[in-house]
Chains A and B, each alone.
Chain A
Amino acid sequence: MNAYIRPTNLAEATKLRAKAGSKILCGGTDFYPALGTAQPQGTIIDLTRIAGLDGISVGPQEIRIGACTSWTKLIASPLPPAFDALKAAGREVGSIQIQNRATIGGNLCNASPAADGVPPLLALEAEVELASAEAMRRLALSDFILGNRRTALKSDEILTAIIVPQQRARGRASSTFAKLGARHYLVISIAMVAVNLVRGDDGSVADAKIAVGACSAVAQRLRALEADLLGKPVAAELGRSAEARHLADLSPIDDVRATGTYRRDAALLLVRRVIGECAKGASA
């Protein structure tokens, strides 16, 4: 590490970021473990003292989650039920000590296939806001995470916020998240599923968004299944509509945590269960 800098406003941070060889530090809970025994290199820009990046604001058009918002703060924030899945995911990120410092922005930028924040935000069709010294741009989250630990973030950019249009959050949207790990707590996902349902006036599915994580390099929406759920009654049996063919596009790998075959099996079960639970929530 050549230098450690703690800017207090975004303009200062993006100016520093424009120089070559900078690295961003937020909660540090992915940053340090990723280093292993190596020393950090280059200039470290610590974002944790930039006031505007931390916190959630609910506006008429959109809900804005600052990139440096900790999981603990998100879990404690009053948000519509469409965010229940994201909160549930946050409650399973490591331990409370981790959640107190780990940020949502860090979870997305780290782009692990097992990042628990990604499926709930895909199911919300969230966007990310990226700032450089020159410009601000927005991308759909699905266009931001490109692969295993690969994102569309440019070397001079900072992720400033995660944005969810109110349109996606309003109405009778209910959302549920579940993750499967080798034990109950403090565990990296073998598979995880987020479901977001909107119940129409006639009690049938008016809208469905389903995303599966840890079963492909980037978490994926199950669009064929989403389409098949439309018009079906919102009831606990809804989960049975999910079949193996709906998960055909996933590409689960064998690793230390599970085999690909097991992951595929478990993901289908989890999808069925989470849809059922979400439907129960939506009809209550």
Chain B
Amino acid sequence: MSKPLKIKLHVNGVARELVIEPRVTLLDALREHLNLTGSKKGCDQGQCGACTVHVDGERVLACLTLAAQVEGREITTVEGLTPDGAELHPVQAAFLKHDAFQCGYCTPGQIMSAVACIREGHASSDAEIREYMSGNLCRCGAYPHIVAAVREAREALS
């Protein structure tokens, strides 16, 4: 046990203060300390993408990031994709429409990854979507529907 650290995290536009051990990952800070359980823990070692969040607009893996490392950065989780009470984000709507999930465990990560993928300009063809979404695994194998959803969301957003 090491000395707890007091840090301030900017999550979904709100400054949150928390006291944690320095070894706590961003994923555990979000889920266990801030009660934001949308980001999922699939593998906890960078291989599945279920924990994908945005840090300063870039998609990163919350399980491989220390909470303390992102102090002062803008963190966005699936809960913060749209303002409270607003309609679904076009990517969320497209996932619903195309039935792009079965169990849904990978879905928040898929959606966060897809939003960034479209913003990066890496969704121009199905092949490109497959390549640039390859960091998000789906054990239910919903891949064809995920690609269709990302394609439609890209059109809706352009």
- A-side interface residues toward B, CB under 8 Å? 1-4, 6, 25, 27-29, 32-33, 39-40, 44, 46, 48, 72, 94-98, 100-101, 184-186
Contact = CB atoms under 8 A, between A and B. Distances in A.
Interface stretch (B79-87, B97-105, B130-138, B149-157): B130-138
Contacts of B49: 95, 97
A263 to B, nearest CB: 23
Interface residues of B, number: 33
B90 interface: no
B2 A3 contact: yes
A97 B45 CA distance: 12
Contact of B22 (A1, A28, A32): A1
B63 interface: yes
B60 A33 contact: no
A190 B23 CA distance: 33
17 contacts: A4-B5, A4-B22, A6-B68, A27-B64, A28-B64, A29-B46, A29-B61, A32-B63, A44-B22, A46-B66, A94-B135, A95-B49, A96-B122, A96-B132, A100-B58, A101-B64, A184-B134
A97 B135 contact: yes
Given A94-B135, A96-B117, A29 B64 contact: yes
Contact of B135 (A2, A33, A48, A96): A96
A95 B64 CA distance: 13
A168 B147 CA distance: 42
A100 to B, nearest CB: 5
A98 B25 CA distance: 15
B23 A98 contact: no
A97 B60 contact: yes
A98 B61 contact: yes
A72 to B, nearest CB: 8
A2 B2 contact: yes
Q: Max chain A CB contacts within 10 Å: which of B45, B46, B131?
A: B46
Interface in B102-158: 113, 116-117, 120, 122, 131-132, 134-136
